[in-house]
Structure 1
Amino acid sequence: MNVRNSASYMALAGALMVSATPAIGQVTPAQAEATTPAEAKVEADAATATSAVDAPPAEDRAGGGDIVVTGSRIQRPNMTSAAPITSVTSQDIRAQAAVNVEDVLNRLPQVAPDSQQTYNDSDGRQRIKLRSLGFERTLVLIDGKRLGTQNGQDVGIIPPSLLERVDVLTGGASSVYGSDAVAGVVNFVLKKDFEGIQLDGNYNFYNHNNKDTVVSSLARAAGFNSPRGLTNDGGRADVTLTAGKKFFDGALRINGFVNYKHTDEVLLSERSNSGCYLTQTSLNAPISCGLTPSSSTSGLISPLDSKGVATGQYVNNPNGTRTFVPFGTGAGNASNYFSNYAYQRPSERVNAGGFVSLDVAPDAEVYASGIWFRDKSYNNYPAIAGGNVQVNCNNPFLSASQASTICGAAAGTAAFAPIDIRYRLGEGNDQPDSYLNTGLRLTGGLRGKAGDAWTYDIGGVYARNKQDYTPSFVNAANLRNSLNVGGTLAAPTCAGTTDAACVPFDAFSAGNTNPALIDYLYDRGTSTTIGTLYDVQANITGDLGKYGVTSPFAEQGVAIALGTEYRKDTLKSTADSVYRAGLGGVDTYLKQDVWEANIEVQAPLIEHKPFAELLQANGGYRVSKYSSNSSSFNTWKIEGIYAPVSDLTFRASFNKAQRAPTVTEIRQATNVDFARGGSGTFNDFCAPTVTTNAAGGVTYGTPVASREVCRATGLSDALYGSPTLICPGDASTGATGCTVRSGGFEADPETAYTQTYGLIVKPRFVPGLVFSVDRYKIKIDDSLGYNDFSYYTDGCQRSNGDAFFCQGIVRNPGTGTLYSNAASNPTTGFIRQGTTNFYKSIARGYDFQAQYTLDLASVGKIDWNLNGSLTTFAGGQDSPVQPTRNCAGYYGNGCGQLIPKWSHGLRATYTTVDKGFSASFNWRYVGSLTNADNSGDPAIGGTPERERTSYFRVSPKSYFDLALNFAIDKAFSLRLIANNLLDMSAPIVPDSYNVALARTNTIPQRYDSLGRNLAVGATVRF
């Protein structure tokens, strides 16, 4: 084992030496002239450097000492922010041993954590969601310019070692940066002014002690593996080579970098908390290993009736007798469908790029940059042949008893019988879906000063991202061919085709792993999606005080920023013939462009007067015209700052932000498409429930929905509970359930009104202390979002027949059915889904930031930093007649944001006087989460009859991180880091896919689910 074991011992030894921690989204020690923690951070990075190797920060200056602050286009000294900004410094990032940007941002309470690396259905792209309001509402910038398209956003393009800092501005910023900055802005500030050669390396892995959990005994009882003992796995490597050189006395500056990342796979079967998928089959039922109708290497066979409804579920007896046994636990079900799912997805990424700037005049600079990346990752899916297919009743692979079960009286004849077949062809033969993401981002422009009063920046961004998605899928025609078998058991043949490649499928015995059959059944086609952004901007800022435009009570003059911008987004989707033949779809080319103009003003009204150290008013206005909308719209902001004394500052910001739909949202709203079953099998809730007994007999029960609800969908009382309402299977596709219609909606811009107001305390009698608290309130009207068919079906039931939801259930006249022939493009007989403007989204809460520096004179100093968030409301209102849904602290029943009411990061860092050594201890706290059934709030399903008695609450979790940094000399530094130092296990959450879209029996976005993470990092400068 070698590298991993050696690193394990080294990091653990270092961890025992002292308490330390990576910083999280904190603010840095305040300087005397700074006004807020965020502004103080800009001035103090050099003072908090933890390594003698770290270069002094490039402080994002436009010249003349002016500081560029995220959230404003205006550049001026000591600028005060009216909106709260959280910053993460390069030192913090090093201390976290972050391999990707996702690791950094997941620790910020203001960010809804994402975990693409532990999400088996991921496409490999990393996105940011501020306030849990969706990535479409978070604008991502690199050095103040857009990262790329919203639909193709991938912050993995940025190597963490290249970051100078990350600024997070929460709250609307559309008037400054444009549409889609509804939830806020994340600005990645890169190191661009580097000279020399530097190598940064980081290797980390998981050092976890697998202890028996509630899952372990259940998994073993079902015949599945559940590991015990210490394991070292999940290695992640990150290496960056950076080089820079200055020419012509520093007039020409060139920098370049190459970054390589690799991630090892960790399977669900390699953790004791995920030995099988934990589920509760009904409210308060005992937990059990979920055995889905697709989980057996023995092969699961379900005979179907004429409507495509299963009349039984059987597994081929693994004893080789060619008999059926009932599907369920025991010998007939000896494989775990999810065992080859990834807990950590394997991936490999290369980033490369460079920066160049040239002073063409004393006050004029030409600049350009380019970043390229290539990322490949995989999702393992079990190789399941399945669907509604026909089998010949004289198939030689069928025993007499099997033929009788499937065909009845037709057993042994040439007749065909419908079955649903789910056969996993061996765990080692699971077929991966692959994602290849490549991209290029180019920037360029001219910036500088015009006289003493004006600065300008004329430039643009070209960004292109491409994704090749290559899934494995069953060739439906080949499956049909392989199941129509003639000849004899000893010499079977494909009876219904002349295809010489056809391989007869022995679907009626256990353990078939024939490689030739797998090759014949499975195809691999590729779909390609290319998104491009063309963005051209012209911005000028001016200090009107140079012309005498200054308040008589202020020292600084009025500042102004003017800008105009043109953007064009395109999205092109194509696929090869294999993909289209197997999975369908059509090629698309979507585009949208926008013209915008904006103005921003900052007006200091009073400065350095009694009872008014500072009184300042800010304003901004932007007008936007999108090609997708017939009319223009405007956004604005009004801000105020009042500091009666230098120790205390009050601030407030009010914003109107509007977001136009992305090109994908427009197509999802307007394009009409039909499919049987939608995103999952659904039967009409007004149809009778169906029960099949052991003998294959069918009985009908009471419908799921009440008569009143069904009446609200347009169904006559006479048809309530009629078997004719049962949605049949589609023989051509194998899909079952009702017809779902996607699209046919309007998609108008959504409007958000955001407020933030708070105070900053910097008492002069406690030097080094800064504290801020800010209240935020966000309300989005006509909120854009994608709702699948369950939004209408569940909403119609929950609301007891509210027309807002029930209108999405469109019945065929006369028959009242909800199934149609999709090929005929019907106008009735379906359930709607797609992107539309629904009612309101709401987010409210408080942000807390604090920092304190204790100077220990000749011994060094200790820095404390706190970043916490209290969420008081997270949810919205689904319709005008529905109550508001507050999901803060709850999960389930549509509360998918997984937002605890309180979370924080608190770190303390000790640094020696010579900065040769630092030690940090970090406390990450995640508040409790409760199932919405136990909320006591009927608006989110918290009714007495739904109250749960088990597994309804996730207790608060505390994680402790340790980081040691040794500056060996000016050319070399070493880092030893332990994240989740105590190896805290993740909480158990049954039916986790319904909660977190993960089969891990926990919520990997929120919790350190893979255990203790140990890291060794080094920086070498040549």
Structure 2
Amino acid sequence: MIFDQTVSRIALAGSLLFCAVPAMAQEIAADPAQAKVEADATTALAAPDRAPAPASDDTVVVTGSRIQRPNMTSAAPITSVTAQDIRAQAPTNIEDVLNRLPQIAPDAQQNYQDSDGRQRIKLRSLGFERTLTLIDGKRIGTQNGADVGIIPPSLLERVDVLTGGASSVYGSDAVAGVVNFILKKDFEGLQIDGNYNFYNHDNKDTIVSSLARANSFGSPRGFSNDGGRADITVTAGKKLFDGKLRLSGFVNYRHTDAVDYDARSTSACQLIQTGKDGPLSCSLSTYSRSGYVSPRSGANNGAAYVNDPNGTRTFVPYGVGAGNAANPYDGYSYQRGSERWNAGGFVSADLTSDIEVYGSGIWFRDKSENVYPARIYSYTVYGDQPYRVNCNNPYLSGSQATAICGGAAGTNTKAPIELRYRFNDLADIPDTYINSGVRATGGFRGKVDDIWTWDVGGVYARNQQVVNYGNLPDYNRVNQSLDVVNVNGVATCASGVAGCVPFNAFTANTPGQPLASWLFTAPGGTTKGVGTLWDGLISVTGDLGKYGVTSPLATQGVAIALGAEYRHDNYTSTADTFYRDLNGGNDLDISQSVWESNIEVQAPLIEDRPFAHLLQANGGYRVSKYSSNPKTFNTWKIEGIYAPVSDLTFRGSYNKAQRAPTVIEIGQARNISYGLQGGSQNDFCAPTVTTNPTTGAISYGTPVASRDVCRATGLSDALYGSPTLLCNQGDGNQCTVQSGGYTADPETAYTLTYGLVVKPSFIRGLVFSVDRYQIRIDNSLGYNDYTYYTDGCQRSNGDPFFCSGIVRQPGTGILYAPASSNPTSGFIRQGTTNYYKSISRGIDFQAQYTLALGGAGKVDWNFNSSLTTFAGSQDSPLQPKRNCVGYYGNGCSQLLPKWSHGLRTTYTTGDGIVSASFNWRYVGSLTSADNSGDEAIGGTPERARTTFYHIAPASYFDLALSFAIAKDFSLRFIANNLLDKTPPILANSYDISLARSNTIPARYDSLGRNVAVGATMRF
């Protein structure tokens, strides 16, 4: 195994491995001249687009370490996005920036109809549960409820992305790494930042267009200007009492206009392909504006009709044709409409020369919508009773009455029907997501004798999400509106109920507005989830060199950091009766606490010696005890730094982390499948059952699974095929999913990074780094239903890993336990369970170069790229590894190209007034897993496709122009995706990207050219 060999190498090398450190946020150079050149290339511009102010002291805080000391060098890869980089992209949401980093899996929540609107980060495509998100070194909130949308982009000083294990420093859940948002806090004066951007796209006919038009859906042509997004932030600050009291605050408002799917020719309808390389079609819906009617009795029982689209009161067969079917997704949100308010403040005060009190608070409220067409839903949404229409309904023509009622046409007999109708004059029905919350920090920090620094503080965070589901048509009122009689030539509800509006469901394009206030009164329900975090921290750092604890060959002493932390996570989920009646489920109230302590050491061994400019060893250890798990976790890191000369540094880091389930995962782990859900399936080791339709006699056949497979689940041969294993044992409790409970095992991650950083003294301003990373997660936590184990056990012919998830009762072998128990047997695991392994490997390349042009200014180049060599899993020790890099489909949901990069070139005039920045973003190719040639991901010859099997590499170009018109005023003009590149088109895109827009909107710029204008004013 690679990792076993790696451990040996680490032991032999005495922990002095080689790890690249990116060009950003590395260290303070000892040479002031060199420091100035490098600072120009890496530091965010202060006050409107001008040169940064000098640092107030010589202390640098590097993400990934609690130790603070001058000239400190990071031993783990860190990528920093500066305020200047952020302004050059004019983002409204910080996810727009992060999605462009190769190290982060794109997660475009604003381009995802089914999302909840929260923006969460997934490093290395390993999930947000394994990425720890911080603000100024402290947790943003709960792991499940974190929402980086709380942070206005204009308030950021920089974003540090540490890709590699950081659990020993920050906590066991920093498996994939840490994203640390550094805010501008020490602000004085008044500043207004504003951005407005919109999409400018040339809609050209695509493969989707002809199919959409064939169904009368339409497909736009020509330029569209839509999707406007506005962002404005007002920041103010003041220093009082000679700077001893520092106050600052901000208010931020963001607004996003919705863009519908049918606003783009690439998504004029959902493209469906049947079978491998089969025919293409548009996804169709019976919810037609013409109205869909199906009799549920008589000679035409089950026939499918549509009101003739030409408006005559006749039925035509439902099917493909002009106006006969509907586009179910035309009004879905390609970009969600949203509105967000953020506000916050920061305070710090010097109590003495060595003690400071500090605090901060951020409040936010975000509202976004998922919209659905206004429709009369199928009766099956409410139950099993069809709607009923009177056969003398004046809206029915004779032929329609005969089709529905047969010989009862024209009488007051009520005939059962299925009815579905979409209104074209009603606004879409929204599901509204309201995310709100508060995050507060506070504490005391100080120093003792310039040797020790200390910080005692904490975080309180509360995230609440309320989802209001749109109103449904009331079932009883629909029936009342279908029971219509003629009263003096006026169609009238026969019930006589006040306010009842007759419904002409038997003519195409019937206006819905008169009906809306009468019919759409059944609440879809409301759910609320609240996550809270209490986090208390104590940290102490010291320079032991002041006490003489220094290597005889080094000038700097040993540095140490000690810490203790207590966290309490709580999650509650509730729903009203309307939601429960429609969807079922139960309320939740789940908590867990964790006690942690940690130590970190940095030990310079050799400094400024021949062939050893720097030799340093680092280490860290953390102990964690979760209330939800009987085990105590430990995490650690071993790091080494070796610079033979100042121009060249080799560095390495090896980390071990154990992650316990989050509170949400704990709740999901409490789902245990008793028997098989629903009662229609039996234990695959039970006999198959056949019932004679004439006599009713029951006969038993051979079980679905083989004897060997059943033996692997713990079933004795004597019980193989026994009727006692059948689902129905007469007590009514079997074959259902009940609430039980078990403790999911922690996952254990090992992260190795090694590489080098080059800063050649003969090329001032150049910094280059290359990093190799390897991440292996054992007992990987994830969500599975019971079929993961049953199918895996049977498909693998008895693999113990899968079959062990089927836990039979001793002796009887049955998969049943009483619903009131918390069983240790008689179930199939379901919910949060442990996979075998998750694996991620690759190489990161980063470089910066600043070329000084004298009085003519300077040119900065910034390069960030990633070569992913493995991203996938291994399902069991007997199964092959699944490497999904460069592939999609067949469970390859990472959507990671092998290569991606960003290269930004920025020219700034000598006076700093004008800046022009050109960025090249490259996304490598993706191929269908069917065509991979790898059987582990379904790449067999018979599955190979000839259509929709490859996405070519894509290059996007961005241009940003900045003008510092006056000392306190700057103006920016930006075009992202300057050439308006059309996104790649895929059939069955929902199966690949959970988007029905025929592409992968998280990976590609799918809405077209984004044009922005921004300004900063300071008073």
Residue 784, structure 1, aligned to residue 776, structure 2: no
Report the CA distance between 1:871 and its aligned residue. 0.5
**Residues 51, 967 of structure 1: 8 Å contact kept:** no
Aligned to 1:9: none
Unaligned runs of at least 5 residues, structure 1: 1-24, 688-704, 717-726, 728-737
Aligned to 1:218: 211
1:564 partner letter: A
Unaligned runs of at least 5 residues, structure 2: 1-21, 687-701, 717-726, 728-734
Please give the residue correspondences for 1:582-621 in structure 2 after superposition, counting only pairs within 5 Å. Answer: 582-621=582-621
Aligned to 2:340: 349
**Residues 28, 41 of structure 1: 8 Å contact kept:** no
Residue 96, structure 1, aligned to residue 89, structure 2: yes
1:331 to 322, 338, 341: 322
1:766 to 757, 763, 774: 763
**Residues 98, 160 of structure 1: 8 Å contact kept:** yes
Q: Secondary structure at the match of 1:104?
A: helix
1:849 to 846, 858, 875: 846
Please give the residue correspondences for 1:178-577 in structure 2 after superposition, counting only pairs within 5 Å. Answer: 178-292=171-285, 294-300=286-292, 313-319=304-310, 324-384=315-375, 385-386=377-378, 387=380, 389-391=384-386, 395-396=390-391, 421-426=419-424, 428-474=426-472, 478=476, 481-482=479-480, 485=483, 509-515=507-513, 517-518=515-516, 519-521=518-520, 522-577=522-577
Aligned to 2:897: 900
Aligned to 2:52: 56
Going from structure 1 to structure 2, the CA distance change for 1:389 and 1:453 (only over 3 Å counts) comes to same
Please give the residue correspondences for 1:102-141 in structure 2 after superposition, counting only pairs within 5 Å. Answer: 102-141=95-134
Report the CA distance between 1:746 and its aligned residue. 3.6
Matched residues in 2 for 1:603 and 1:568: separation? 34
Matched residues in 2 for 1:594 and 1:508: separation? 63
Report the CA distance between 1:190 and its aligned residue. 0.4
Matched residues in 2 for 1:601 and 1:174: separation? 15
1:562-581, Cα deviation, whole Å (9 max, x unpaired) = 00001111112223343334
1:463 partner letter: A
Going from structure 1 to structure 2, the CA distance change for 1:48 and 1:199 (only over 3 Å counts) comes to closer
Aligned to 1:982: 979
Q: Secondary structure at the match of 2:551?
A: coil
Aligned to 2:699: none
Aligned to 2:661: 661
**Residues 526, 578 of structure 1: 8 Å contact kept:** yes
Matched residues in 2 for 1:810 and 1:520: separation? 49
Residue 964, structure 1, aligned to residue 961, structure 2: yes
Report the CA distance between 1:783 and its aligned residue. 1.0
Matched residues in 2 for 1:1001 and 1:258: separation? 38
Going from structure 1 to structure 2, the CA distance change for 1:28 and 1:532 (only over 3 Å counts) comes to closer
Aligned to 2:4: none
Q: Which moved more, 1:886-895 or 1:48-57?
A: 48-57
Going from structure 1 to structure 2, the CA distance change for 1:596 and 1:288 (only over 3 Å counts) comes to same
**Residues 675, 741 of structure 1: 8 Å contact kept:** no
Matched residues in 1 for 2:372 and 2:786: separation? 25
Residue 753, structure 1, aligned to residue 750, structure 2: yes
1:772-816, Cα deviation, whole Å (9 max, x unpaired) = 11111111111111234664577568657757557879999xxx9
Going from structure 1 to structure 2, the CA distance change for 1:564 and 1:94 (only over 3 Å counts) comes to same
Matched residues in 1 for 2:36 and 2:405: separation? 78
Matched residues in 2 for 1:418 and 1:827: separation? 49
1:662 partner letter: T
Going from structure 1 to structure 2, the CA distance change for 1:500 and 1:789 (only over 3 Å counts) comes to farther
Matched residues in 2 for 1:358 and 1:42: separation? 32
Please give the residue correspondences for 1:592-741 in structure 2 after superposition, counting only pairs within 5 Å. Answer: 592-671=592-671
Q: Secondary structure at the match of 1:216?
A: helix
1:299-326, Cα deviation, whole Å (9 max, x unpaired) = 44567899xxx96655444355666544
1:110-159, Cα deviation, whole Å (9 max, x unpaired) = 00011111111121111100001111111000000000011111100000
Report the CA distance between 1:827 and its aligned residue. 13
Matched residues in 1 for 2:427 and 2:819: separation? 34
Aligned to 1:163: 156
2:74 to 48, 72, 81: 81
Report the CA distance between 1:583 and its aligned residue. 3.5
Matched residues in 2 for 1:221 and 1:820: separation? 55
Report the CA distance between 1:498 and its aligned residue. 10
Report the CA distance between 1:367 and its aligned residue. 0.5
Going from structure 1 to structure 2, the CA distance change for 1:860 and 1:245 (only over 3 Å counts) comes to same
Q: Which moved more, 1:706-715 or 1:559-568?
A: 706-715
Residue 973, structure 1, aligned to residue 964, structure 2: no
Q: Secondary structure at the match of 1:546?
A: helix
Going from structure 1 to structure 2, the CA distance change for 1:706 and 1:672 (only over 3 Å counts) comes to closer
Report the CA distance between 1:658 and its aligned residue. 1.3
Report the CA distance between 1:425 and its aligned residue. 3.4
Going from structure 1 to structure 2, the CA distance change for 1:271 and 1:793 (only over 3 Å counts) comes to farther
Report the CA distance between 1:29 and its aligned residue. 10
Matched residues in 2 for 1:842 and 1:749: separation? 16
Report the CA distance between 1:515 and its aligned residue. 4.0
Residue 835, structure 1, aligned to residue 829, structure 2: no
TM-score normalised by the chain length of structure 1: 0.85
Q: Secondary structure at the match of 2:384?
A: strand
Residue 991, structure 1, aligned to residue 988, structure 2: yes
Residue 930, structure 1, aligned to residue 927, structure 2: yes
**Residues 51, 917 of structure 1: 8 Å contact kept:** no
Matched residues in 2 for 1:227 and 1:823: separation? 58
**Residues 393, 407 of structure 1: 8 Å contact kept:** no
**Residues 673, 830 of structure 2: 8 Å contact kept:** no
Matched residues in 2 for 1:391 and 1:149: separation? 46
Matched residues in 2 for 1:347 and 1:934: separation? 40
Q: Which moved more, 1:243-252 or 1:834-843?
A: 834-843
Count of aligned residue pairs for this structure pair? 950
1:389 partner letter: D
Aligned to 2:857: 860
Report the CA distance between 1:432 and its aligned residue. 0.6
Report the CA distance between 1:279 and its aligned residue. 1.1
Going from structure 1 to structure 2, the CA distance change for 1:741 and 1:993 (only over 3 Å counts) comes to farther
Going from structure 1 to structure 2, the CA distance change for 1:823 and 1:656 (only over 3 Å counts) comes to closer
Matched residues in 1 for 2:499 and 2:791: separation? 47
Q: Secondary structure at the match of 1:343?
A: strand
Going from structure 1 to structure 2, the CA distance change for 1:1011 and 1:829 (only over 3 Å counts) comes to farther
2:52 partner letter: P
1:536 partner letter: G
**Residues 672, 831 of structure 2: 8 Å contact kept:** no
Aligned to 2:945: 948
Report the CA distance between 1:587 and its aligned residue. 2.6
Kindly, what percent of the aligned residue pairs are identical?
A: 66
Going from structure 1 to structure 2, the CA distance change for 1:974 and 1:480 (only over 3 Å counts) comes to closer
